[in-house]
Amino acid sequence: MSFTESLPLDLQKQIKDCISSYPETEQAFYNLYEYFQINGKKRKISNIDSESSLSCKNNSTTQPITSLKNFHIILQLPDLSVLSPLRKKLNFIFASKNSNNKQTPILALTRSIEDGAPEMVIDDLSKENIKFATLLPIPEKKNVKYLIFFYNKNAGNLFKNEPLLIQLNFENLNEQWLPILAQLKYNDLTSYLQRQCQICGFELNDPFNDKKSKSFYVEAYKGSKEGQLYFLPNHIIFGFKKPILFFQSTDIESITYSSITRITFNVTLVLNNDEKFEFSMIDQKDFENIDQYVKTKEFRDKSMTDELKAKKFSKNNDHEGILKQLEETETVSKGLDENENEDSDDDEDDDNFQFNEEESDSGGSGASSESEEENEDNGLEEEEDSGIEED
């Protein structure tokens, strides 16, 4: 950064700190420097300083945090695997600092408390900014969970304000925290985390440890991306390859089913603004959970249109759902296939074969109702002949 060498030391430090915190501002600083050199109008210094300040803040309402040295550390979980919006091993920190005689908490991801600026900061932990925070299970990984935060904006509006996703290995963390938790009289780390989040101004949910919530997840695809579709009490989440999708139940008008096969089916979420999100290749065994979820949300939110309700319930009234009806149809079809080459003395069983004309050559009943009695007689004669041959 040779262009800073001609600047006062104090200004050099400010620019370097700002670029360290927000690397994308370096080009803006350089452009401003070139502009100033070409125009040679020193009387514009105050305006340039103002623009530099705006670039450094990057639309944030507060000065960028260049270090956590002067902050009070509330909680630190070291070396966690951050999966979004960046992929690094970082320290997860809750910290606070006096501001206008008021303790203001922040959430920070940093390599070190002592050196360097945090990689990411959420400086507004109010419920207005933190839309939803939760712990979610990771398939086939025992004692490992996702910790995810959905928020409106972070400090500097970095990373397009994408959700913060962290992987927590509770087996390792519990070993580290067990003595501290015992001293603080907490039964487990989850309870302690929830309490710290509450103190900072928002709620941390743990729906899969709450039997009343009846939360579940299914394997699904969004286009070519495989992931998990989590059905929570008031939200649906799909992840965890970008983009992570987040839906509030109040924003969902309806859930419909399509592309139904013996093994899988698709689910489409229709939002109040008519936007649609289709998730495919969901295992048929997951249908009843999803269908029950849909019915519960319809009853609670009453958000579906009368037209959609009529279509939905006309299919579901007499059965547990459209896939249940499909299963019954498949069962009948399977029964017919198994009995394809067998005769029966039961008239009712013989009638079933009328649905398959190709079976007439294998000893079954005839293809038309006009020759029904004749075919029955022939069938009896064949059975008698067969019995004589066996004797």
Give the number of other Cβ atoms within 10 Å of residue 360's Cβ.
16
pLDDT of residue 36: 60
CATH of region 216-302, choose from 3.40.190.10, 1.10.10.10, 2.30.29.30, 3.30.420.40: 2.30.29.30
Show me where the domains of the chain are located.
Answer: 9-33, 72-205, 216-302
Q: What are phi and psi of 330, to 5 degrees?
A: -65, -35
Whole-model pTM: value is: 0.64
Q: In whole angstroms, how far apart are CA 267 and each of 246, 278, 280, 322, 323?
A: 15, 6, 6, 12, 12
Residues 6+ apart with CB under 8 A from 314: none
The amino acid sitting at 212 is K
Q: Which residues of 85-99 are buried (b: 16+ CB within 10 A; e: fewer)?
A: beeeebbbbbbbeee
pLDDT of residue 330: 45
Q: In whole angstroms, how far apart are CA 339 and each of 12, 52, 110, 182, 334?
A: 87, 82, 68, 66, 9
pLDDT of residue 362: 42
CATH of region 72-205, choose from 2.60.40.10, 3.90.78.10, 3.30.43.10, 2.30.29.120: 2.30.29.120
Query: Does 72-205 match 216-302 in CATH topology?
Result: yes
User: DSSP H helical segments within the chain, as ranges?
Assistant: 9-21, 26-39, 45-57, 170-184, 189-200, 287-301, 306-316, 322-338, 347-352, 372-390
Residue 175 CB burial class (10 angstroms; 0-12, 13-18, ≥19): exposed
pLDDT of residue 44: 41
pLDDT of residue 124: 95
Taking only the tens of pLDDT, the chain with its 391 residues reads: 456 666 777 777 778 878 777 777 776 776 676 556 545 444 444 444 434 333 333 344 457 888 898 899 999 999 999 999 999 999 999 999 877 667 889 999 999 888 789 999 999 999 999 999 999 999 989 899 999 999 999 999 999 999 999 999 999 998 889 888 988 889 899 999 999 999 999 999 999 998 888 999 999 999 999 999 999 999 999 999 888 999 999 999 988 899 999 999 999 999 999 999 999 999 999 999 999 999 888 733 333 444 444 444 444 444 445 555 555 544 444 444 444 444 444 444 443 333 333 443 444 444 344 444 444 444 444 444 444 344 3
